[in-house]
Structure 1
């Protein structure tokens, strides 16, 4: 008889409380959603930086002077990022205009590089003020017969 009493006292226990289990599952599910959003933001940032670099290189290649090309490239990259809604905590746009000094008839190109530290502060991830760094470069040819400075 003594043995059956000990079995009866333990047979009613099933583990943790259902409300505790539900709270843990909701927390884990919320974290998974935040990580999915962060991942998609990273992929969109990579594509956005690539698009901005191509737009900047193309805009720069249409100008005759290195100074005008650099201004046009920066404007094109900024506009591209704004159109895509990409927020960077740090943004660097580098335009290589050294080949604008090449003589007429010589093949030349301009390179634009966009470097963006993706903003993750609004995601609510613990310790995530800024996300990963995305960087993209693009090269666009300069018309070899267009007058340059």
Structure 2
């Protein structure tokens, strides 16, 4: 227990210069800021890794579509490859859309065509409980794969 200050000025000065409680106040101010910084870093990391995973899924889907012989088969193979790639990489999309341009499969044999796949994935961020962060971020990636010029094609 601390003695109460007496009437002389030295004791009052020593009593007023004590830092009792300042650590508690500093902790109360710094802790929420550190938690917000941590949540911001996690959100940034989730966005960057999700973008890379969506890029890889678009590449896998475009490659699967480019080795298909028909346009309808290319659509089915690309959609399946995109879903499988996103699932294998552990990314959970709130919504996913896959757009496939298979016009390169219609070029005559001997000419080079391309197949382009665009994937959009909405990544949820609301579970981070960070004020000011939107509930989700939509990641979009596009990849083009070359169709083998001498592979047989149908229709």
TM-score, structure 2 length as denominator?
0.82
d(CA) in 1 for partners of 2:135, 2:13 = 56
* 1:69-148 matched pairs, under 5 angstroms: 69-126=74-131, 128=133, 130-148=135-153
d(CA) in 1 for partners of 2:56, 2:24 = 48
Q: Which runs of 5+ in 2 are unaligned?
A: 1-6
Greater alpha carbon shift after TM alignment, 55-64 vs 109-118? 109-118
Asked if residue 24 in structure 1 is aligned to residue 26 in structure 2, the reply is: no
**Residues 99 and 17 from structure 1, CA distance in 2 versus in 1: closer, same or farther, beyond 3 angstroms?**
same
**Residues 104 and 125 from structure 1, CA distance in 2 versus in 1: closer, same or farther, beyond 3 angstroms?**
same
Residue in structure 2 matching 1:43, options 36, 43, 48:
48
Q: Which runs of 5+ in 1 are unaligned?
A: none
TM-score, structure 1 length as denominator?
0.85
d(CA) in 2 for partners of 1:32, 1:75 = 38
CA drift of 1:15 comes to: 8.9
d(CA) in 1 for partners of 2:83, 2:147 = 21
Counterpart secondary structure, 2:95: strand
Greater alpha carbon shift after TM alignment, 51-60 vs 111-120? 111-120
Asked if residue 11 in structure 1 is aligned to residue 13 in structure 2, the reply is: no
Q: CA contact under 8 A between 1:117 and 1:130: conserved in structure 2?
A: no
Deviation sequence 1:64-113 (CA, Å, 0-9, x none): 00111011001111111111111222222111112221111111010011
d(CA) in 1 for partners of 2:75, 2:63 = 11
Aligned length in residues: 147
Q: CA contact under 8 A between 1:115 and 1:133: conserved in structure 2?
A: yes
CA drift of 1:20 comes to: 2.9
CA root-mean-square deviation: 2.4
